[in-house]
Amino acid sequence: MALSCSSLCSHLSFIRLCGLRTNIIINGLYSPVKSCQPRLSLCRHYSSSKARHGVVRYVASKLQRVNSKYEAFLKRRFPRFFLLYNTFVKGFRLLYQDASSVARIKRKMYSDGVQFKDLPYREMEMLRQFRRSVIKAVPLVVISIPPFANYLVFVLMYFFPRQLLIPHFWTPSQQVEFQGVYHSLRAQHHRPVLKGLENTSHRVKDRQLQGRLKDLCTKVQNGVNPRVSEILAVRSLFSGRPLGLKRMSTQQMRHISPLLFLTPRLPGFLIGWRLNNHALELLQLDRALSRLGPHQLSEAELRQACYVRGLNSIRLDSNQCREWLSQWLQVSSSLKESEVSLLLHSIVLLSANYPKGSSGH
């Protein structure tokens, strides 16, 4: 018995030794035989990796199930809060997607040396909208910095969503409501802009241009849509004196600023600088849209394009929106960068009476 045990132990020792390192002869040379230990180690690592992935999937599925139950509970017991909660979840998701898209566009501009004016229309419009949204969100972020201030922020967001929240966090009904509110605020400045044009017409020395500008103002004030040719007939007055952006009166610039949702409560030189930047950006957007073709826009993009350019498209059908946008692009495509002041005034000239006024083709 003792002998057999001794023999067994010696065999086990030999096998263990072979498992660590064994030499065999290949072509007359000694060559070490690789141990199977590393292979076993890899197998154990692979198995543990699969196990970890399985645990992650299990935890994720559990969390998703718990979240679904929580949302169902909110929807059943607190429907108004669920609507707010659901809007915020979707808003953060959309905001993240937009931020990722903007980062991708910025990387492309940097790596390929592409300028803003050379971007496709949709990328140009995304950059413009995202920048405005971020600027609006900055005050809310600053307010939430102090400890426990986030509770106050939630209360403010609930009671003042239009003033504090960006469109990503508006409900569909709020989007329609707030767009109507903003347009009504913008429309309050139609009459002052037209009155400023009429008063400026008296300073025009060319009698023919003076008469055309007066007739244009009178027609719009009487509720008629002007023709594109009538607007372009006075374009020379908007490149220098008296209606060019660098020659225009500060009062007239203060009336135009709200048309672009810009504050008029700034020094005159700063208002002029901001108006010039926004007007050039709008002109570049129009050129990109002309390259794309307005017929390529979806209905939502079409309505947004009209709204940005001064038209309240909520109660208009898609054909009316396309007709108006076509008129706008006819004016825009005919203008030079030095004549962008006329583009800003066209926000009033083309949209003040549309579609109630008579056809202005």
Encode pLDDT of 307-323 as tens digits.
999 999 988 999 999 99
Which CA distances in Å does 8 have to 17, 108, 172, 201?
Answer: 14, 71, 81, 116
Backbone angles phi, psi at 257, to 5 degrees: -55, -45
Q: Which residues make Cβ contacts (< 8 Å) with residue 225, sequence separation at least 6?
A: 350, 353, 354, 355, 357, 358, 359, 360
Whether 29 has a pLDDT exceeding 50, the answer reads no
More confident residue, 151 or 40: 151
Residue indicated by tokens 């006075």: 234
Lowest mean pLDDT among 83-97, 104-118, 170-184, 311-325: 83-97
C-alpha 70/C-alpha 64 separation (Å) is 10
- Rounded to the nearest integer, the mean pLDDT of the chain is 83
Contact criterion met (CB below 8 Å) for 152 and 142: no
- Res 49: pLDDT: 65
Average pLDDT rounded to a whole number, residues 115-139: 91
Whether 360 has a pLDDT exceeding 70, the answer reads no
Amino acid at 14: F
Average pLDDT rounded to a whole number, residues 120-128: 96
- Encoding tokens for residue 188? 């309050």
- Res 70: pLDDT: 66
Residue indicated by tokens 């609006």: 136
Contact criterion met (CB below 8 Å) for 211 and 344: no
Task: Indicate the DSSP class of residue 167.
Answer: G
146 phi-psi bin (left φ>0, alpha ψ -120 to 50, beta other): beta
Which CA distances in Å does 19 have to 12, 14, 15, 224, 339?
Answer: 10, 9, 6, 97, 87
Task: Indicate the DSSP class of residue 339.
Answer: G
Neighbouring C-beta atoms of residue 14, cutoff 10 Å: 11
Determine how β-strand 22-26 pairs with β-strand 29-33: antiparallel
Encode pLDDT of 231-274 as tens digits.
999 999 999 889 999 889 999 999 999 999 999 999 999 999 99
Which CA distances in Å does 271 have to 195, 277, 293?
Answer: 20, 10, 32
Neighbouring C-beta atoms of residue 192, cutoff 10 Å: 16
C-beta pairs of 178-183 under 8 Å, 24+ apart in sequence? 179/307, 179/312, 179/314, 180/312, 180/314, 182/261, 183/307, 183/312, 183/314
Contact criterion met (CB below 8 Å) for 260 and 309: no
